[in-house]
Amino acid sequence: MEIIVAKTAGFCFGVKRAVDMAFKTAKKKQKGVFTFGPIIHNPQVIEKLKEEGILPTEDINTHEIKDIIIRTHGVSFQIMNRISDAGFNIIDATCPFVKKAQRYAKLLREDGYQVIILGEREHPEVQGIMSYAGDDVIVVAAESALPKIKHDVGIIVQTTQPVEALKKLFGKVIEQAKNVKVYNTICNSTALRLKETAAMAKKADIMLVVGGKNSANTTQLAKLCQSLSVPTHHIETAAELRAEWFNGIKKVGITAGASTPDWIIEDIIKKLKVYDS
Amino acid sequence: MEIIVAKTAGFCFGVKRAVDMAFKTAKKKQKGVFTFGPIIHNPQVIEKLKEEGILPTEDINTHEIKDIIIRTHGVSFQIMNRISDAGFNIIDATCPFVKKAQRYAKLLREDGYQVIILGEREHPEVQGIMSYAGDDVIVVAAESALPKIKHDVGIIVQTTQPVEALKKLFGKVIEQAKNVKVYNTICNSTALRLKETAAMAKKADIMLVVGGKNSANTTQLAKLCQSLSVPTHHIETAAELRAEWFNGIKKVGITAGASTPDWIIEDIIKKLKVYDS
């Protein structure tokens, strides 16, 4: 059984930066260090951080907080202000690309555009960007219908969306708006990962997509593989693997989301080799 | 034989305005009145104007010009300056929507964007807009490949292009550029005419598309009908009609470009009624 692993699988720049910041802080062995929400969308990494004494929280009032690490997906400016007013030491692990999307949203609002965010309304990244985008902000997913929009519209994209979704959205927007400004805030590493995964899914007999079930970009990868009609399993760890998936399989493709640590991928490869022996 | 005529067939706002300005000027019976290039893309209207003593020219040096009427498609700012420097009385019949596209091109250039014009490079409207768009301007048709473009790009559209072409172009642009500003300068009357024509072509047994062979928007209508697999004839006048086209035909659809005068459409209907009697 041949095992191929995507070069782009695993930690992206922003996640690596955030996780490094958190573990560096952990080394100092101080008390009262929290992350605002899960620092990345990978339960296994969150578990490891807990072992180091760093807990996630979204309730800044009931803990004895000294340092607070802002999650990689960012927070709304209201939350940022509240944390700031509370006097905590802020370690801002917001992904620089997400920060950029927040800044563009603010810029568009200040320039009088109605802001449309392409993404998942409930995702913390989108919630953060929304807060900068003004009261008339609209959040849409690629497949949803567009509500009535204004004449001048600015588009911002959740960093983990596929570019095809942006093309689809533009097609709908241009039927209504006359003046459209688009900031393509899709992260390049997302685009490359989607591209490599698509190519791999066409060659593999089965695809393993590794990463948090709550990870938007991992879920995106799994959806992509399924759309290409290859048997696909979205798993968080090696524990979820089932030997029977691999009966008669010649080629296994492995890809992983931006928040999946290398050691989880390595565990999976080890277990596959056991099946194969 | 049922004859259906598109409500949107014939003179649009800008053409009507330009033709009215020309005939109003003709009424004054002054000598030395010229149009810069054909005032609209309809040879029959140009013929009528010639009978009134108003000739088209693109050579402003060899005529005794007093008044010059700027064609509905507009001119480059270099030509405008030359005409202005020559001291002629300018009657500006540039379509206000084309003027807007010129202004947007200038604005984008001043704001540091590389301008992309979606349209036909040789068309006078595009030639005019190009002159405002800066040295790095790119002109592309919907079906052409996109050359290498910059990071910040602004899109302007020839007023007679279909919106589908703009969607296609955006799809290509967003693969390269990060920051895209789109001014949808497609004229609403063009969009409505294309829409009505498409609906008509689906019901009719034959389509007659009436207008200048040099008219971009008329040619666009003919292409649209052909793409919908209905037998289509692009004709300028009733003289081109052939009786055999209508053997066994139950429903004739007639549409016409923005520069087609009503009297040509009426002539065609008269002749069709003769065939049918």
Q: Which of B174, B183, B195 best tests the A interface by mutation, with the highest count of A CBs <10 A? A: B174
Residue A151's pLDDT is what? Answer: 94
Q: How far apart are CA B87 and CA B74, in angstroms?
A: 18
The answer, yes or no, to whether residue B63 has pLDDT greater than 90, is: no
Which positions of A are annotated as active-site residues? 125
- Measured between CA atoms, how close is A117 to chain B, in angstroms? 15
Look at strands A179-183 and A152-157 and give their pairing: parallel
Secondary-structure percent of chain B, ordered helix, strand, coil, rounded to 5? 40, 20, 40
Q: State pLDDT tens for residues B82-137.
A: 999 999 999 999 999 999 999 999 999 999 999 999 999 999 999 999 999 999 99
Q: What is the mean pLDDT of chain B?
A: 95
Distances B176 to A74, B170, B179, B275 between C-alpha atoms, Å: 27, 10, 9, 55
Question: What residues of chain A, 180 to 239, have a C-beta less than 8 Å from chain B?
Answer: 180-184
Q: Name which of B76, B1, B11, B79 is nearest B42 in CA terms.
A: B11
- Chunked into runs of 10 residues, chain A (277 residues) has average pLDDT values of 96 96 93 95 95 94 91 96 95 97 98 97 96 97 92 96 95 96 94 95 97 92 96 97 95 96 96 90
The answer, yes or no, to whether residue B266 has pLDDT greater than 90, is: yes
Residue B29's pLDDT is what? Answer: 87
Identify any residues that bridge with A114 across adjacent strands, giving them in sequence order: A153
Residue A82's pLDDT is what? Answer: 95
- Measured between CA atoms, how close is B163 to chain A, in angstroms? 8
For residue A183, the chain B residues in CB contact (below 8 A) are 178-179
Least confident of A166-175, A250-259, B139-148, B149-158: B139-148
Q: In what order do the strands lie in the sheet with B89-92?
A: B55-57, B33-36, B67-70, B89-92
Q: Name which of B74, B42, B97, B75 is nearest B218 in CA terms.
A: B42
Q: How far apart are CA B32 and CA B17, in angstroms?
A: 21
Burial class (CB in 10 A: 0-12, 13-18, 19+), B244: exposed
Q: How far apart are CA B71 and CA B215, in angstroms?
A: 13
List Cβ neighbours of B214 (8 Å cut-off, separation of 6 or more): B38, B41, B43
Residue B143's pLDDT is what? Answer: 83
- Quick check: B171 and A175 CB within 8 A? no
Band of the pLDDT at B276, cuts 50, 70, 90? Answer: confident
Question: Please, what sign has the CA dihedral across residues B8, B10, B15, B20?
Answer: negative
Q: How far apart are CA B123 and CA B188, in angstroms?
A: 19
Q: b or e along B197-231 (b: 16 or more beta carbons within 10 Å of the residue's beta carbon)?
A: bbebbeebebbbbbbbebbbbbbbbbebbeebebe
Domains along chain B with CATH numbers = 2-10+189-276 (3.40.1010.20), 13-94 (3.40.50.11270), 97-186 (3.40.1010.20)
Q: State pLDDT tens for residues B234-249.
A: 999 999 999 999 999 9
Q: State pLDDT tens for residues B210-232.
A: 999 999 899 999 999 999 999 99
Residue A65's pLDDT is what? Answer: 93
For residue A167, the chain B residues in CB contact (below 8 A) are 167, 170-171, 174
B25 token code pair:
């000027």
Q: How far apart are CA A119 and CA A122, in angstroms?
A: 9
Look at strands A179-183 and B179-183 and give their pairing: antiparallel
Distances B145 to A264, B105, B173, B206 between C-alpha atoms, Å: 43, 21, 10, 33
Q: How far apart are CA A201 and CA A191, in angstroms?
A: 15
Contact criterion met (CB below 8 Å) for A265 and A5 = yes
For residue A163, the chain B residues in CB contact (below 8 A) are 174-175
Residue A253's pLDDT is what? Answer: 97
Contact criterion met (CB below 8 Å) for B157 and B166 = yes
- Measured between CA atoms, how close is B165 to chain A, in angstroms? 10
Contact criterion met (CB below 8 Å) for B40 and B63 = no
For residue B177, the chain A residues in CB contact (below 8 A) are 184
Residue A276's pLDDT is what? Answer: 84
The pTM score is 0.88
H or E segment and range at residue B49: helix B43-51
Name the H helices within chain A. 13-27, 43-51, 77-85, 96-110, 124-132, 163-173, 188-203, 216-227, 262-276
Question: Please, what sign has the CA dihedral across residues A60, A66, A69, A74?
Answer: positive
A55 token code pair:
């807990």
- Quick check: B183 and A178 CB within 8 A? yes
Residue B277's pLDDT is what? Answer: 80
Residue B121's pLDDT is what? Answer: 94
Neighbours of A10 (CB within 10 A): 23
Residue B46 amino acid letter: I
A11 token code pair:
């930690």
Residue B141 phi, psi (nearest 5): -90, 160
Q: What do you get for the CA distance between the two ends of chain B, in Å? A: 9
Query: How many residues does the structure list for chain B?
Result: 277
Rounded to 5 degrees, what angle do the CA atoms A232, A237, A243 make?
60
Complex-level ipTM: 0.84
Residue A63's pLDDT is what? Answer: 81
